[in-house]
Amino acid sequence: MSTTITRSFHHQFDLKYGCNPHQNPAAIYSLEDQELPFEVLNGKPGYINLLDAMNSWQLVQELDKTANLPAAASFKHVSPAGAAVAVPLNDTFKQVYECGQHELSDLATAYIRARGADPMSSFGDFIALSRTVDMATAQIIKPAVSDGIIAPDYSPEALEILKGKKKGNYVVLKANAAYTPPDMEYREVFGVGFAQKSNDLVLGEDNLFQQLVTEIKEIPSDAKRDLILAAVTLKYTQSNSVGYALDGQMIGIGAGQQSRIDCTKLAGKKAENWFLRQHPKVLELPFKSGVKRVERTNARVCYIEGDMTSKEMEAWVQNFDTTPTSLTTDEKSAWLEHMKGVCLASDAFFPFRDNIDQASKRGVAYIVQPGGSVRDEDVIQATNEYGMVMAFSKIRLFHH
């Protein structure tokens, strides 16, 4: 039995171009008799800007409702580089994120965590915030290299600050928090139409932790918060995806990999770099006066990874008053031994125990994944060997 579906779209405004400059014309349309779920307050958004905005807004809105905390996301190319909720920053994190001189609201704290998890990936991000943007948050965003922002509202002072970014061209979108998307969603690829039910399943304690399959079955409240954060983040991350979370923020996201073990390794490497940024030798790097924040960030990552060519090293040392001593492999290993209590989520089942072995190297103690692999017992055995807690949610979170 065939069914013909008629959908009516209404032109709203033209875009400069589509994904690439040669994909022109390009435009934004609203569906049938509905208004757009956002209003443009400043700038001219691009095609990819709006894809980032629509995905990131859904993420922070859902995370705020589930965690009952202000939420933030930093998006690049339709996947989050970082996501977080408002958990206070200690003095070490204020130094790592270079925000100790600022007065921080809860919303500002959430964005600092989201942006600070993987700052190189967040360079030129699209920001999503779940609550009204205040002056403190706008002041944090003001110097950041960013393409745009979406939030439910802005204080007048915050809006003026944001409008001034990028010589007045910074994209500022006001989300309609009351907007309800249609039950069905449609897309077209290569002349072929696709339809599916919208992924409106809300993730939380009621459905993520129903089946605890390991010998240890206790999950502290902070770990539950971080597991929910990780699961919600992956719901809006291009698959395959795996994410590490700790202290109210994502610390490593592996997105869009064809192999799940590559996701686990990629996200794990990002998590290691995040943790190593707290090492005293990294915090005490002797930067010259006047070195810009972006260069300081890049220099710290190069210092941690330590795989520079001779030419890269020549440029790198120009950032410092004196040449820093190396961060040795032994020093890294000793520091990473303190990485504990990390949470891990996967958007689909782990097919082999190698993912658990990799997770163990990054201090993972709590895992949530759908389960359903023919090797589930091998994966459960591995988590028991490491003393981890694992929940099967039976909810796959593929996103494309």
* Residue located via tokens 């020093």: 331
Q: Is 75 helix (H, G, I), strand (E, B) or coil?
A: strand
**Of these residues, 77, 94, 166, 361, which one is catalytic?**
77
- How confident is the model over 248-262, as a mean pLDDT? 96
Among 110-119, 179-188, 219-228, 327-336, the minimum mean pLDDT is found in 179-188
The pLDDT value given to residue 2: 64
Given a cut of 80, is residue 3 above it in pLDDT? no
The band of 1, judged by pLDDT with boundaries at 50, 70 and 90, is low
- How confident is the model over 333-352, as a mean pLDDT? 97
Does 76 participate in catalysis according to the annotation? Answer: yes
Instruction: Count CB-CB contacts under 10 A for residue 18.
Output: 15
The band of 400, judged by pLDDT with boundaries at 50, 70 and 90, is very high
Does 240 participate in catalysis according to the annotation? Answer: yes
3-state DSSP helix/strand/coil % of the chain, to nearest 5: 35, 25, 40
The pLDDT value given to residue 102: 82
* DSSP states along 202-245: PPSHHHHSSEE-SS-----HHHHHHHHHHHHHHHTSPSSEEEEE
- How confident is the model over 65-71, as a mean pLDDT? 96
The pLDDT value given to residue 392: 98
The pLDDT value given to residue 158: 98
- How confident is the model over 105-127, as a mean pLDDT? 96
- Which two tokens mark 228? 């929910």
Given a cut of 60, is residue 103 above it in pLDDT? yes
Nearest of 70, 86, 177 to residue 130 by alpha carbon: 70
The band of 7, judged by pLDDT with boundaries at 50, 70 and 90, is confident
**Of these residues, 49, 55, 76, 224, which one is catalytic?**
76
Q: pLDDT tens digits, residue range 196-251?
A: 999 999 999 999 998 999 999 999 999 999 999 999 999 999 999 999 999 999 99
Does 22 participate in catalysis according to the annotation? Answer: no
The pLDDT value given to residue 4: 75
Q: What is the phi/psi pair of residue 377, to 5°?
A: -65, -35
Nearest-angstrom CA–CA distance, 12 and 24: 16
- How confident is the model over 78-90, as a mean pLDDT? 97
Q: pLDDT tens digits, residue range 293-342?
A: 999 999 999 999 988 999 999 999 999 999 999 999 999 999 999 999 99
Percent of the chain with pLDDT over 70: 99
The pLDDT value given to residue 263: 96
- How confident is the model over 57-81, as a mean pLDDT? 97
The band of 371, judged by pLDDT with boundaries at 50, 70 and 90, is very high
Ordered by where they begin, the domains of the chain are 38-175 (3.40.140.20), 200-276+336-392 (3.40.140.20), 281-326 (1.10.287.440)
The pLDDT value given to residue 386: 98
**Of these residues, 42, 240, 273, 319, which one is catalytic?**
240
Among 97-101, 106-110, 380-384, the minimum mean pLDDT is found in 97-101
The pLDDT value given to residue 5: 75
- Residue 98's Cβ-side half-sphere holds a number of Cα atoms within 13 Å equal to 17
The pLDDT value given to residue 6: 76
pTM recorded for the entire structure: 0.96
The pLDDT value given to residue 43: 96
